[in-house]
Structure 1
């Protein structure tokens, strides 16, 4: 499927000019500062390594704003060494910016319709939190049914076999951001 703003097919006279305008933006997209703050608010700064699986029952060694140190619980493994004494907010933000490159690539690669900045930021937040298994939501966005996307976020609320309240709140907030541009990340 071609990019939405890159190609237009019409049944008009081929010699005529057609101007297509949209307030939504075409590629390439880049996360905004508001989007970064939104994600950081949901991830919450943790200066020391902790185990996290999304349900609070152990899981993967993590630090900062959800930066994955390694799969599996804290074990004293080599990847943990740089974080043993903790990190600063500035270091955590640098890690977050690096970590956001992957979800941005996923959204830029897979979305083929124009987006508002806040819609893009919501999708990057979602993919940051769920880097795989997100095709259903991204496919719905590509269908152009923007109005149905906020409800679709709520289909992704399972973590470790349960529906944590925090994850439900996050998905509602991502849906609100996608729909209305509301960057509220309060819990």
Structure 2
């Protein structure tokens, strides 16, 4: 299953989009029998975590093991084959006509056909970054527990958390590296920094974008601003959004790539993935 599952449920032969049904399933199955907790709060290590409706999982159930220690994420703990026939679970599902049941391409994808869970865009003030959006951002940023220089030679740590506009070497030479970062940080501290930076990014986005958005559009914009900064100067992008010219806005992502720098290629790749999220709700990182 990878590290996460998004589960959709049928009721009377059709997919239910009733939030009350999802809450019943979460509480009566996942909370009760798996001991699952909510929303990756500090200290919730080595347990299943559920995404609540207030974070984003409204018409589906999302749960994951991303807060498990590495020793519990070894291949031996992930069942991939049935002992009797040695076929993969995906092959078995397809063989009995359940091809959509195991449409798994990694934790950064929701729907390869680009369908959106929302029938209409909603007020961006009511949106938070979804679990898929978070997984996409953290995969691109990656987590480094020791200070390092980003592509602009700025001292950074964790999931792209900016320490200083100066380099690590300069901070060390001048003995000006903040004490709390000198010997590195823990994974939990990196997670806390990420959530804090994410909240700042979301708030910055809400101040700049007042038009309604799909969840996938919100996630793509959060990823862009988390990477490029909440004060990003992209007048065409924000003008298109203000005018509700969503497709034109998506095209503007492609120009935010720091042309002529060492990071241009990687940024171009990220922007294209963000456009795919924005337009198609397609959360593919690789």
Deviation at 1:94, TM superposition (A): 1.0
Contact persistence 1:119–1:178 (CA under 8 A) = yes
Q: Report the 3-state secondary structure (helix = DSSP H, G, I; strand = E; otherwise coil) of the residue aligned with 1:63.
A: strand
Which range moved further: 129-138 or 60-69? Answer: 129-138
Structure 2 residue aligned with 1:27: 124
Within-5 A mapping of 1:136-155: 136-155=236-255
Partner Cα separation in structure 1 for residue 149 and residue 259 of structure 2 = 14
Cα distance per residue 1:13-69 (max 9 Å; x no partner): xxxxxxxxx611113122122211111111111111001135xxxx11001100001
Residue 143 of structure 2 is aligned to residue 40 of structure 1: no
Q: CA RMSD in A?
A: 1.9
Displacement of 1:89 in angstroms is 2.5
Deviation at 1:120, TM superposition (A): 0.3
TM-score (normalised: structure 1):
0.78
1:66 aligns with 2:160: yes
Residues 135 and 88 from structure 1, CA distance in 2 versus in 1: closer, same or farther, beyond 3 angstroms? farther
Larger radius of gyration: 2
1:129-165 deviations in Å (ceiling 9; x for gaps): 1122133322222221112223211111116645621
Distance 1:50 1:126 in 2: 21
TM-score by length of 2: 0.52
Q: Is the 8 A contact 2:151 2:262 kept in 1?
A: no
Contact 2:205 2:221 in 1 (8 A): yes
- Kindly state the Cα deviation for residue 107 of structure 1 after the two structures are TM-superposed: 1.2
* Equivalent residue number for residue 92 of structure 1: 190
Cα deviation for residue 117 of structure 1 reads 0.7
Partner residue, 1:170: 270
Query: Retained in 2: the 8 A contact 1:49–1:84?
Result: yes
Matched length? 161
